[in-house]
Chain A
Amino acid sequence: MARYVVRRLIFAALLVFLVSSAALVLTRLAPGDYAMLTLGVDARPEVLEQARARYGLNRPIAEQYGDWLVHALRFDFGESMQHGVPVAGLVRAAAANTAILAATALVAATLVGLPLGVISGSRRGWTVQGIRAVSLVVLSTPSLLTSLILLVIAARTGWFPVGNMRSAGPSSTGDLLWHLVLPATALALPVAAMFERLQAQAMSDVVGKPYVLAALARGVPRSRIVWRDALKAALRPTIAVYGLVVGALLSGSFAVEAVTSWPGLGQLMLNALRARDVYLVAGCAAAGSLFLAFGTLVSDLALAIVDPRAHE
């Protein structure tokens, strides 16, 4: 077990390192740089040169990368060219916003999707057909569309704020939650549907096993079989996808953030990429890959605990 954990930790560290390095080098190699994009193509060469020197863009890639790496090891990720402030602060704020959104969505999706999956996997009849049909429809509506539709509904009815994270004026938790409802729902719906389908499949497989029949014959109540014994055995496939779901949530939250103007990592990275803000791109990539690494790590460990065979 200890060896397995160490192996997964190394993988996680490698992930963060490779992704942020690749982001930095790719952005640096891209045509056009920050100096040219802000000053314009017809800027005087000496002004351009001066700006490049200020941002360190006149150095060779290898040198700039090496320098960044040394500083990054000391948790100094450089300064954003667009904003003129350290990258670390910007990224931390945006990552926190994305984390709030994604974590809420994940919890909501689990609380809704899992029980529905248990029900639809262990019963038959019109309720189950209904759940199944709804989840197929929801599964076919990506977060981009869900958030657009919810936004239009919110604007029509005025029940929820249209976009953004906070109202003007003093911020409060209630206000944040008020703004959170719409994007979190948009992000959670497809994931909840996926959980429902996965859990339903796993449940119906387990429910067909002889030991369930044996328990039933011994007089164990049906609800206890379903919600305790069968559920425990059927949890594995859902836990196995949790690691992948973190990636899906990040992908989905990119679309949701764009539609509802939620000031998260996606928006920050998009703007940084467009402005060729090299250090900020690398910082965003590092934060995103940290989420991923954390998600896969947790899901791998949970899987290893539920099913000891997994890490052999």
Chain B
Amino acid sequence: MPLSIPARMSDQSQRSTVAALLPPRPWGFGARLKGRRYIGTALFACAIIGVLGAPVLAPHGSNDQFRGLLNAPPTVPRVIDDAGTWHAPFIYPWVLTNRLEQRFEQDRSTRVRLVWLSRGALVRSEDDARAPLMLGGADSFGRDVFSRLLYGARTSLGLALIAAFGAALLGALIGGAAGYVGGVLDDALMRVSDFVLVLPAIYVVLALRAVLPLVLSTGQVFGLLAAIFAVVGAPFVARGVRAIVRSERQLEYVVAARSLGAGHARLLLRHLLPATSGFLVVQWTLLVPAFVVAEATLSYVGLGFPDPVASWGQMLHDASNVRALVDFPWLLSPAAAIFLVVLALNLLTQSRPDRLPYTRPM
């Protein structure tokens, strides 16, 4: 029986040859990977905390409007007042000075204390009606950008996480079936996935989304986008899974399991697919950022989530006016959120010692 050598072993032997042109590394390769992993994990953990803790962490609901504070700048918590005395954390309220240009000035004479753990929020100002705590400023409807950012994480990141899970599942099943059965099914499935891989994914998503009913409820949009993303992302997963299953199928443990009487389903589900789990995790971390960006792009052009819903793409769509972005730069904060999430996952994939390709599903 032919025994295939694991790909990693041959890689290792190549790398151990002298790196002729290179001076010694400034510090250990391992240390650098570890550093990346720590930063990536920390950033991603922050995002997950934001997703899970949004109702507690956000000072306001995602649609609470403060009509007197349209496009108000962020309120910065302070501990020292103008006289130089220390206080418990407080904010200065904004006062509208020019309604037409929406200019605000701080009212330096009154301090509004911050209260902790009151009315279900971690922190909020003691006088919400007059001087709400707006860590990220307000958008053109007078909604707190920071709170919307947190609720938007639930929509955008939640969608990406679920869709990537769906894509991994679908891809594993398709790839597993193709690799295990082989023959005509394998040929057909791989031809189709070859084809889908060449297409620019955002156009496929766009076309699929645009030909479905344009006006849907939020839940329907969420489900629909998750399904579309999963279908478009699955071929990327399927190819790799197929290759792994094909080579694993030859190995002794599979032959042993088969000779012990394991059926096809058991062989595939209990023995072969678990061998692809490492690959699936990596694919998942590649797909999540791609889906976050895809949601942002779709919502930006108006085919994603409808208006009152807080999603990162929808927030960018609301701010898609150059003048507004110049005058009220805090409206760009969803862009920062997207960047940090993508960076976090990139750091995680880059921190793997087996060095992955940099090509991206979308």
Instruction: Please list the residues of chain A having a beta carbon within 8 angstroms of any beta carbon in chain B.
Output: 15, 18-19, 23, 26-27, 29-32, 122-126, 129, 136-137, 139-142, 144-145, 148-149, 151-152, 155-156, 162-163, 194, 197-198, 201, 204-205, 207-210, 212-213, 216, 222, 225-226, 241, 243-244, 247-248, 250-251, 254-255, 258-259, 269-270, 273-274, 281, 285, 288-289, 292, 296
CB pair B325–A247 under 8 Å, yes or no, is no
B338: which of A145, A213, A250, A292 is its contact (CB, 8 Å)? A145
Please, which residues of chain A bring their CB within 8 A of the CB of B214?
A: 32, 274
Q: Please determine whether B301 and A244 come into contact, CB atoms closer than 8 angstroms.
A: no
Contact of A149 among B22, B201, B296, B332 (CB under 8 A): B332
Measured between beta carbons, the chain A residues less than 8 angstroms from B342 are 140-142
Q: Is the CB of B297 within 8 A of A30?
A: no
CB neighbours of B195 from chain A (8 A): 15, 18
Asked if B350 lies at the interface with its beta carbon under 8 angstroms from chain A, I say yes
Once the chains bind, are B203 and A208 in contact (CB under 8 Å)? no
Within 8 Å CB of A241, what residues of B?
359
Are B22 and A207 touching (Cβ within 8 A)? yes
The answer to whether B31 has its CB under 8 Å from any CB of chain A is: no
Q: Name the contact of B297 in the complex, choosing from A27, A144, A207, A285 (C-beta under 8 A).
A: A144
**B11 vs chain A, min Cβ distance (A):** 9
CA distance in complex: A269, B19 (Å): 50
Find the B residue at minimum CB distance from A215: B20
Interface size class of B (residues with CB under 8 A): 35 or more
Cβ–Cβ contact A251 & B201, under 8 A: yes
Provide the bound-state CA to CA distance between A292 and B297, in Å: 21
19 A-B pairs with C-beta separation under 8 A: A29-B211, A30-B211, A123-B21, A126-B26, A136-B350, A137-B343, A140-B346, A144-B300, A151-B325, A152-B332, A155-B322, A194-B358, A194-B359, A197-B358, A207-B21, A208-B19, A251-B362, A285-B207, A292-B199
Chain B residue at minimum C-beta to C-beta distance from A209: B17
For A206, the closest partner residue in chain B by CB is B21
Task: State whether B20 touches A155 (Cβ < 8 A).
Answer: no
Residues of B within 8 A of A (CB): 14-15, 17-26, 195, 197-203, 206-208, 210-214, 289, 293, 296-297, 300-301, 303, 316, 320, 322-323, 325-326, 329, 332, 335, 338-339, 342-343, 346-347, 350, 355, 357-360, 362
Q: Which residue of B lies closest to A29 (CB)?
A: B211
Q: In the assembled complex, how far is the CB of residue A247 from the closest CB belonging to chain B, in whole angstroms?
A: 4
A124 and B26: CB pair below 8 A? Answer: yes
How many contacts between A and B, using CB within 8 angstroms? 168
Q: Which of B25, B199, B208, B214 has the most CB of A within 10 A?
A: B199
Contact B325 A124 (CB under 8 A): no
Taking CB atoms, residues of chain B closer than 8 Å to A139 are: 346, 358
Residues in A whose Cβ lies below 8 Å from that of B303: 270
Q: Separation in Å of the A216 CB from the closest CB of chain B? A: 5
Contact of B322 among A142, A163, A250, A270 (CB under 8 A): A163
Choose from B301, B335, B338, B360 the contact partner of A248 (Cβ within 8 Å): B360
Contacting pair A258 B358 (CB below 8 A): no
Residues of chain A lying within 8 A (CB to CB) of residue B332: 148-149, 152
Are B17 and A210 closer than 8 Å at their CB atoms? yes
The interface residues of chain B lying within 8 Å CB-to-CB of A163 are 322
Q: Would you call B26 and A129 a contact (CB within 8 A)?
A: yes
Q: Cβ of B203 and Cβ of A149 under 8 Å apart?
A: no
Tell me how far the C-beta of A114 lies from the nearest C-beta in chain B, rounded to whole angstroms: 14
